[in-house]
Amino acid sequence: MAKVITIIGSGMMGSALAFPAAENGHEVRLVGSPLDNEIIDACIATNRHPKFDRDFPAGVKYYKVTEWKEAVKGADFVIGGVSSFGVDWFGEEILANLDPAMPVLSVTKGLINLEDGTLISYPDYWRKNLLAKGIDRHVCAVGGPCTSYELVFHDQTEVAFCGVNTAELKMMKEAMTTSYYHISLTNDVIGLESAVALKNAYALAVAMTIGLVNRHHGEDAGLHYNSQAGAFFQAVREMTRLMAMQNGEQDSLNIGIGDLYVTVYGGRTRKIGILLGEGKTYEEAMDILAGVTLESLVVARRVAKAVYRKAELGHVSLADFPMMCHSYDVLENGKDSELPWESFTFDHTK
Protein backbone atom coordinates (compact mmCIF):
# COMPACT_ATOMS: atom_id res chain seq x y z
CA MET A 1 0.00 0.00 0.00
CA ALA A 2 1.34 3.41 -0.95
CA LYS A 3 2.42 5.60 1.94
CA VAL A 4 3.32 9.21 2.55
CA ILE A 5 6.92 9.65 3.74
CA THR A 6 8.20 13.03 4.88
CA ILE A 7 11.97 13.63 4.93
CA ILE A 8 13.05 16.60 7.05
CA GLY A 9 16.56 17.76 6.16
CA SER A 10 17.59 17.80 2.51
CA GLY A 11 21.23 16.90 3.00
CA MET A 12 22.73 14.19 0.82
CA MET A 13 21.70 11.11 2.81
CA GLY A 14 18.19 12.26 3.64
CA SER A 15 17.66 13.24 0.01
CA ALA A 16 19.11 9.96 -1.25
CA LEU A 17 16.48 8.02 0.68
CA ALA A 18 13.85 9.74 -1.44
CA PHE A 19 14.92 7.46 -4.30
CA PRO A 20 13.99 4.03 -2.85
CA ALA A 21 10.96 5.55 -1.14
CA ALA A 22 9.53 7.18 -4.28
CA GLU A 23 10.50 4.28 -6.54
CA ASN A 24 8.36 2.05 -4.32
CA GLY A 25 5.36 4.16 -5.27
CA HIS A 26 5.17 6.29 -2.13
CA GLU A 27 4.55 10.02 -2.01
CA VAL A 28 7.74 11.62 -0.71
CA ARG A 29 7.84 15.10 0.77
CA LEU A 30 11.35 16.51 1.02
CA VAL A 31 11.66 19.35 3.54
CA GLY A 32 14.73 21.53 3.91
CA SER A 33 16.29 22.49 7.24
CA PRO A 34 16.88 26.20 8.01
CA LEU A 35 20.17 25.86 6.10
CA ASP A 36 18.66 24.16 3.05
CA ASN A 37 16.66 26.90 1.33
CA GLU A 38 19.00 27.01 -1.69
CA ILE A 39 18.87 23.22 -2.00
CA ILE A 40 15.08 23.21 -1.99
CA ASP A 41 15.02 26.06 -4.52
CA ALA A 42 17.27 23.99 -6.80
CA CYS A 43 15.11 20.90 -6.35
CA ILE A 44 11.98 22.85 -7.25
CA ALA A 45 13.66 24.36 -10.32
CA THR A 46 15.38 21.24 -11.66
CA ASN A 47 13.86 18.20 -9.86
CA ARG A 48 17.46 17.33 -8.89
CA HIS A 49 19.53 17.72 -5.75
CA PRO A 50 22.56 19.97 -6.46
CA LYS A 51 24.95 17.22 -5.29
CA PHE A 52 23.44 14.40 -7.36
CA ASP A 53 23.67 13.66 -11.08
CA ARG A 54 20.20 12.10 -11.37
CA ASP A 55 16.72 13.59 -11.25
CA PHE A 56 14.47 12.67 -8.37
CA PRO A 57 11.90 10.00 -9.31
CA ALA A 58 8.25 10.88 -9.74
CA GLY A 59 6.38 11.32 -6.50
CA VAL A 60 8.77 13.71 -4.71
CA LYS A 61 7.46 17.09 -3.54
CA TYR A 62 9.56 19.90 -2.06
CA TYR A 63 8.97 22.12 0.97
CA LYS A 64 10.80 24.93 2.77
CA VAL A 65 11.37 24.48 6.50
CA THR A 66 8.61 26.96 7.27
CA GLU A 67 6.21 24.47 5.66
CA TRP A 68 7.25 21.39 7.64
CA LYS A 69 4.00 21.09 9.59
CA GLU A 70 2.07 21.01 6.33
CA ALA A 71 4.52 18.42 4.97
CA VAL A 72 3.93 15.98 7.83
CA LYS A 73 0.13 16.07 7.62
CA GLY A 74 -1.10 12.61 6.74
CA ALA A 75 2.41 11.14 6.71
CA ASP A 76 2.94 7.50 7.67
CA PHE A 77 6.40 8.21 9.02
CA VAL A 78 9.08 10.88 9.07
CA ILE A 79 12.75 10.49 8.16
CA GLY A 80 15.13 12.84 9.95
CA GLY A 81 17.79 13.82 7.43
CA VAL A 82 19.84 16.35 9.39
CA SER A 83 23.58 16.11 10.01
CA SER A 84 24.99 15.82 13.53
CA PHE A 85 25.22 19.62 13.60
CA GLY A 86 21.42 19.76 13.41
CA VAL A 87 20.67 17.32 16.23
CA ASP A 88 19.52 19.93 18.75
CA TRP A 89 17.46 21.81 16.15
CA PHE A 90 15.74 18.60 15.06
CA GLY A 91 14.97 17.65 18.66
CA GLU A 92 13.75 21.05 19.80
CA GLU A 93 11.93 22.23 16.69
CA ILE A 94 10.69 19.03 15.06
CA LEU A 95 10.48 16.15 17.53
CA ALA A 96 9.13 18.31 20.34
CA ASN A 97 6.34 19.58 18.09
CA LEU A 98 5.57 16.43 16.11
CA ASP A 99 2.68 14.13 17.01
CA PRO A 100 4.25 11.66 19.51
CA ALA A 101 2.51 8.82 17.66
CA MET A 102 4.34 9.63 14.40
CA PRO A 103 7.13 7.07 13.74
CA VAL A 104 10.51 8.67 13.06
CA LEU A 105 13.60 7.21 11.40
CA SER A 106 16.87 9.14 11.79
CA VAL A 107 19.86 8.98 9.43
CA THR A 108 22.06 11.09 11.74
CA LYS A 109 25.24 9.35 12.89
CA GLY A 110 26.97 10.30 16.09
CA LEU A 111 27.25 9.94 19.85
CA ILE A 112 26.98 12.28 22.83
CA ASN A 113 29.62 12.02 25.56
CA LEU A 114 28.37 12.58 29.10
CA GLU A 115 30.38 13.93 32.03
CA ASP A 116 31.24 10.45 33.32
CA GLY A 117 32.52 9.28 29.93
CA THR A 118 29.33 7.46 28.98
CA LEU A 119 28.50 7.59 25.27
CA ILE A 120 24.81 7.70 24.35
CA SER A 121 23.12 7.55 20.96
CA TYR A 122 21.18 10.39 19.40
CA PRO A 123 17.87 8.48 19.83
CA ASP A 124 18.64 8.21 23.57
CA TYR A 125 19.71 11.87 23.69
CA TRP A 126 16.46 12.96 22.06
CA ARG A 127 14.40 10.70 24.31
CA LYS A 128 16.03 12.10 27.44
CA ASN A 129 15.39 15.70 26.38
CA LEU A 130 11.82 14.99 25.26
CA LEU A 131 10.93 13.17 28.48
CA ALA A 132 11.96 16.33 30.34
CA LYS A 133 9.20 18.07 28.35
CA GLY A 134 6.69 15.33 29.13
CA ILE A 135 6.92 13.79 25.65
CA ASP A 136 7.29 10.01 25.37
CA ARG A 137 8.96 9.20 22.05
CA HIS A 138 11.37 6.57 20.77
CA VAL A 139 13.24 7.37 17.53
CA CYS A 140 14.36 4.63 15.15
CA ALA A 141 17.63 4.99 13.24
CA VAL A 142 19.44 3.69 10.17
CA GLY A 143 23.08 2.70 10.01
CA GLY A 144 25.40 0.82 7.71
CA PRO A 145 27.86 1.09 4.84
CA CYS A 146 25.99 3.46 2.54
CA THR A 147 27.22 6.55 0.76
CA SER A 148 24.44 8.77 -0.53
CA TYR A 149 25.66 9.12 -4.11
CA GLU A 150 26.01 5.35 -4.52
CA LEU A 151 22.51 4.83 -3.17
CA VAL A 152 21.25 7.30 -5.77
CA PHE A 153 23.25 5.32 -8.36
CA HIS A 154 21.36 2.19 -7.21
CA ASP A 155 24.49 0.37 -6.09
CA GLN A 156 23.66 -2.70 -4.00
CA THR A 157 23.45 -1.45 -0.42
CA GLU A 158 23.10 -3.27 2.93
CA VAL A 159 22.00 -1.29 5.99
CA ALA A 160 20.14 -1.88 9.26
CA PHE A 161 17.24 -0.10 10.92
CA CYS A 162 17.27 -0.08 14.71
CA GLY A 163 14.66 0.83 17.30
CA VAL A 164 12.70 -0.44 20.28
CA ASN A 165 9.39 -0.65 18.38
CA THR A 166 9.60 -3.74 16.19
CA ALA A 167 6.30 -3.06 14.43
CA GLU A 168 7.54 0.38 13.32
CA LEU A 169 10.80 -1.12 12.07
CA LYS A 170 8.98 -3.75 10.01
CA MET A 171 6.66 -1.11 8.54
CA MET A 172 9.61 1.09 7.55
CA LYS A 173 11.52 -1.85 6.07
CA GLU A 174 8.54 -2.82 3.93
CA ALA A 175 8.22 0.76 2.71
CA MET A 176 11.89 1.27 1.87
CA THR A 177 13.23 -2.09 0.65
CA THR A 178 14.05 -2.23 -3.07
CA SER A 179 16.04 -4.47 -5.39
CA TYR A 180 19.15 -2.48 -4.44
CA TYR A 181 18.41 -1.25 -0.88
CA HIS A 182 18.44 -4.12 1.62
CA ILE A 183 17.51 -3.64 5.28
CA SER A 184 18.26 -5.73 8.38
CA LEU A 185 16.38 -5.02 11.62
CA THR A 186 17.62 -4.89 15.20
CA ASN A 187 16.50 -3.68 18.62
CA ASP A 188 20.18 -3.05 19.48
CA VAL A 189 19.95 0.73 19.23
CA ILE A 190 23.03 1.62 21.25
CA GLY A 191 25.08 -1.06 19.48
CA LEU A 192 24.21 -0.09 15.92
CA GLU A 193 24.36 3.64 16.59
CA SER A 194 27.72 3.28 18.35
CA ALA A 195 29.22 1.13 15.60
CA VAL A 196 28.32 3.45 12.73
CA ALA A 197 29.46 6.49 14.70
CA LEU A 198 32.76 5.00 15.85
CA LYS A 199 33.72 4.13 12.29
CA ASN A 200 33.86 7.87 11.50
CA ALA A 201 36.53 8.43 14.12
CA TYR A 202 38.61 5.48 12.97
CA ALA A 203 38.25 6.07 9.22
CA LEU A 204 40.08 9.34 9.83
CA ALA A 205 43.17 7.52 11.07
CA VAL A 206 43.08 4.84 8.36
CA ALA A 207 42.88 7.53 5.68
CA MET A 208 45.95 9.21 7.15
CA THR A 209 48.02 6.29 5.88
CA ILE A 210 47.14 7.22 2.29
CA GLY A 211 48.42 10.73 2.85
CA LEU A 212 51.53 9.41 4.59
CA VAL A 213 52.44 7.40 1.48
CA ASN A 214 52.01 10.58 -0.60
CA ARG A 215 54.21 12.50 1.81
CA HIS A 216 57.02 9.98 1.98
CA HIS A 217 57.01 8.63 -1.59
CA GLY A 218 55.16 11.18 -3.72
CA GLU A 219 51.64 11.20 -5.11
CA ASP A 220 52.75 9.07 -8.07
CA ALA A 221 53.68 6.19 -5.76
CA GLY A 222 50.17 4.75 -6.08
CA LEU A 223 48.11 3.07 -3.41
CA HIS A 224 49.97 1.00 -0.82
CA TYR A 225 47.77 -1.41 1.05
CA ASN A 226 49.99 -2.75 3.85
CA SER A 227 49.73 0.41 5.90
CA GLN A 228 46.01 0.82 5.21
CA ALA A 229 45.36 -2.78 6.25
CA GLY A 230 47.51 -2.41 9.37
CA ALA A 231 45.59 0.69 10.42
CA PHE A 232 42.26 -0.99 9.54
CA PHE A 233 43.19 -3.93 11.75
CA GLN A 234 43.92 -1.64 14.70
CA ALA A 235 40.73 0.33 14.09
CA VAL A 236 38.68 -2.88 14.29
CA ARG A 237 40.47 -3.89 17.52
CA GLU A 238 39.65 -0.58 19.18
CA MET A 239 36.09 -0.49 17.84
CA THR A 240 35.60 -3.99 19.28
CA ARG A 241 36.73 -2.79 22.71
CA LEU A 242 34.50 0.26 22.55
CA MET A 243 31.53 -1.82 21.42
CA ALA A 244 32.06 -4.11 24.42
CA MET A 245 31.90 -1.01 26.63
CA GLN A 246 28.62 -0.11 24.91
CA ASN A 247 27.24 -3.66 25.27
CA GLY A 248 26.60 -3.76 21.54
CA GLU A 249 25.81 -6.93 19.63
CA GLN A 250 28.26 -8.62 17.24
CA ASP A 251 26.23 -7.96 14.10
CA SER A 252 26.04 -4.28 14.99
CA LEU A 253 29.83 -4.26 15.17
CA ASN A 254 29.98 -6.10 11.84
CA ILE A 255 27.85 -3.40 10.21
CA GLY A 256 30.16 -0.77 11.71
CA ILE A 257 33.19 -2.51 10.21
CA GLY A 258 31.51 -2.49 6.80
CA ASP A 259 30.76 1.18 7.29
CA LEU A 260 34.41 1.77 8.20
CA TYR A 261 35.44 0.23 4.89
CA VAL A 262 33.18 2.38 2.75
CA THR A 263 34.09 5.54 4.67
CA VAL A 264 37.82 4.98 4.16
CA TYR A 265 37.35 4.50 0.43
CA GLY A 266 34.43 6.74 -0.43
CA GLY A 267 33.64 9.25 2.27
CA ARG A 268 34.45 12.85 3.09
CA THR A 269 36.52 11.64 6.05
CA ARG A 270 38.96 10.14 3.54
CA LYS A 271 39.73 13.62 2.20
CA ILE A 272 40.73 15.19 5.49
CA GLY A 273 42.59 12.07 6.60
CA ILE A 274 44.73 12.20 3.44
CA LEU A 275 45.46 15.90 3.92
CA LEU A 276 46.51 15.36 7.53
CA GLY A 277 48.66 12.42 6.47
CA GLU A 278 50.37 14.57 3.84
CA GLY A 279 51.47 16.90 6.62
CA LYS A 280 48.81 19.59 6.50
CA THR A 281 47.81 21.09 9.82
CA TYR A 282 44.22 20.73 10.90
CA GLU A 283 43.62 24.40 10.09
CA GLU A 284 45.16 24.06 6.62
CA ALA A 285 43.12 20.95 5.89
CA MET A 286 39.89 22.64 6.94
CA ASP A 287 40.67 25.65 4.73
CA ILE A 288 41.15 23.34 1.74
CA LEU A 289 37.89 21.54 2.48
CA ALA A 290 35.89 24.69 3.20
CA GLY A 291 32.18 23.98 2.98
CA VAL A 292 32.47 20.20 3.49
CA THR A 293 30.49 18.83 6.45
CA LEU A 294 32.81 16.65 8.53
CA GLU A 295 30.80 14.86 11.18
CA SER A 296 33.68 12.44 11.67
CA LEU A 297 35.66 15.11 13.49
CA VAL A 298 32.83 15.68 15.95
CA VAL A 299 32.65 11.96 16.67
CA ALA A 300 36.43 11.58 16.96
CA ARG A 301 36.64 14.31 19.58
CA ARG A 302 33.63 13.12 21.58
CA VAL A 303 34.72 9.49 21.69
CA ALA A 304 38.28 10.45 22.64
CA LYS A 305 37.05 12.70 25.44
CA ALA A 306 34.85 9.88 26.71
CA VAL A 307 37.77 7.43 26.68
CA TYR A 308 40.06 9.91 28.44
CA ARG A 309 37.38 10.48 31.09
CA LYS A 310 36.85 6.77 31.65
CA ALA A 311 40.62 6.38 31.98
CA GLU A 312 40.67 9.13 34.64
CA LEU A 313 38.01 7.20 36.54
CA GLY A 314 40.02 3.97 36.23
CA HIS A 315 37.51 2.18 34.00
CA VAL A 316 39.73 1.76 30.92
CA SER A 317 43.39 1.92 29.94
CA LEU A 318 44.49 4.43 27.33
CA ALA A 319 47.03 1.83 26.18
CA ASP A 320 44.09 -0.05 24.64
CA PHE A 321 43.21 2.92 22.41
CA PRO A 322 46.44 4.21 20.85
CA MET A 323 44.82 5.02 17.50
CA MET A 324 41.98 7.00 19.07
CA CYS A 325 44.43 8.93 21.24
CA HIS A 326 46.66 9.60 18.24
CA SER A 327 43.80 10.99 16.14
CA TYR A 328 42.76 13.24 18.99
CA ASP A 329 46.31 14.55 19.37
CA VAL A 330 46.51 15.29 15.65
CA LEU A 331 43.26 17.23 15.73
CA GLU A 332 43.61 18.99 19.07
CA ASN A 333 47.34 19.29 19.75
CA GLY A 334 48.89 19.59 16.30
CA LYS A 335 50.72 16.27 16.53
CA ASP A 336 52.24 14.89 13.34
CA SER A 337 49.97 12.32 11.72
CA GLU A 338 52.59 9.53 11.52
CA LEU A 339 50.81 6.65 13.24
CA PRO A 340 52.31 5.01 16.37
CA TRP A 341 52.69 1.66 14.62
CA GLU A 342 54.53 -0.25 17.29
CA SER A 343 51.79 0.48 19.81
CA PHE A 344 49.43 -1.53 17.59
CA THR A 345 51.38 -4.78 18.07
CA PHE A 346 50.47 -7.40 20.64
CA ASP A 347 52.12 -10.35 22.35
CA HIS A 348 49.77 -13.19 23.23
CA THR A 349 52.50 -15.71 23.90
CA LYS A 350 52.60 -17.63 27.16
Q: Does the pLDDT value for residue 223 go beyond 80?
A: no
Per-residue pLDDT of 156-215, as tens digits, reads: 999 999 999 999 999 999 999 999 999 999 999 999 999 999 998 899 999 999 999 999
Contact 109, 84 (CB under 8 A): yes
Q: What pLDDT was estimated at residue 200?
A: 84
Per-residue pLDDT of 238-290, as tens digits, reads: 999 999 999 999 999 999 999 999 999 877 789 999 999 999 999 999 999 88
Contact 22, 45 (CB under 8 A): no
Residues 6+ apart with CB under 8 A from 281: 334
Q: Give the CATH H-level superfamily of domain 4-187.
A: NAD(P)-binding Rossmann-like Domain (3.40.50.720)
**C-alpha–C-alpha distance, residues 128 and 185, integer Å:** 23
- 8 forms bridges with which residues in the sheet? 31, 80
Per-residue pLDDT of 36-74, as tens digits, reads: 999 999 999 999 999 999 999 998 999 999 999 999 999
Q: Does the pLDDT value for residue 293 go beyond 70?
A: no
Q: Does the pLDDT value for residue 313 go beyond 80?
A: yes
pLDDT > 90: what percent of the chain? 90
Q: What pLDDT was estimated at residue 34?
A: 94
**C-alpha–C-alpha distance, residues 66 and 70, integer Å:** 9
**C-alpha–C-alpha distance, residues 188 and 13, integer Å:** 22
Domain boundaries, the chain: 4-187, 192-344
The average confidence (pLDDT) of the chain is: 95
Q: What pLDDT was estimated at residue 299?
A: 87
**C-alpha–C-alpha distance, residues 321 and 316, integer Å:** 9
CATH of domain 192-344: 1.10.1040.10
Mean pLDDT within 104-109: 96
Terminal Cα distance for the chain, rounded:
62
Confidence of residue 291 (pLDDT cuts 50, 70, 90): low
**C-alpha–C-alpha distance, residues 40 and 47, integer Å:** 9
